[in-house]
């Protein structure tokens, strides 16, 4: 039975062509999904870590730079998800039956994750704009 199954699997059609392999492998898809939370965690930890230094040196420009760098990380992750979504544009279904459909689902999830965490980073930056860091 194993020999019969092996020969059938060798000739099975592939749903992912060679041009799509770069964007539909797990690394870019997971980068899109986890890029937003990683950028938010970086923003939160770096902002809290430099507050004492900012109060001591009165160099308030560093906090918006951290927020800008975090948003740039989110935009990069969203761009990766967008490219993966464009590669699966013909697959409307996201039920997970085929590798391209699962990749499309992960790309949509990555875009949603990046959008929500970009809003979270912006919401966390509002106190930096309104209040002094040393208050």
H helix intervals, 58-98: 62-87
Residue 12 lies in a domain: yes
- Mean pLDDT of the region 98-124: 91
The 10s digit of each residue's pLDDT in 26-41 is: 899 999 999 999 999 9
The 10s digit of each residue's pLDDT in 61-101 is: 899 999 999 999 999 999 999 998 888 877 666 566 677 78
Count, residues in the chain: 135
Residue 25 lies in a domain: yes
Least confidently predicted of 2-6, 87-91, 129-133: 2-6
Q: Which of 30, 73, 72, 67 is nearest to 45 (CA)?
A: 67
Based on its alpha-carbon atoms, the radius of gyration of the chain, rounded to whole angstroms, reads: 21
Q: Is the predicted pLDDT of residue 49 greater than 60, yes or no?
A: yes
The count of structural domains within the chain is: 1
Residue 135 lies in a domain: no
Range of the domain at 75: 2-130
Q: Is 93 helix (H, G, I), strand (E, B) or coil?
A: coil
């Amino acid at each position: 039975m194993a020999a019969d199954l092996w020969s059938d699997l060798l000739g099975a059609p592939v749903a992912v062509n060679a041009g799509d392999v770069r964007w539909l492998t797990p690394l870019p898809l997971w980068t899109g999904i986890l890029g937003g939370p990683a950028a938010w965690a970086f923003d939160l930890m770096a902002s809290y870590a430099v507050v004492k230094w900012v109060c001591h040196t009165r160099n308030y420009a560093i906090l918006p730079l951290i927020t800008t760098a975090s948003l740039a990380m989110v935009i990069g992750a969203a761009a990766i998800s967008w490219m993966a979504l464009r590669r699966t544009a013909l697959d409307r279904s996201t039920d997970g039956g085929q590798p391209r459909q699962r990749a499309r689902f992960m790309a949509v999830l990555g875009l949603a994750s990046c959008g929500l965490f970009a809003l979270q980073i912006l919401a966390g930056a509002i106190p930096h704009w309104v209040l002094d860091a040393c208050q």
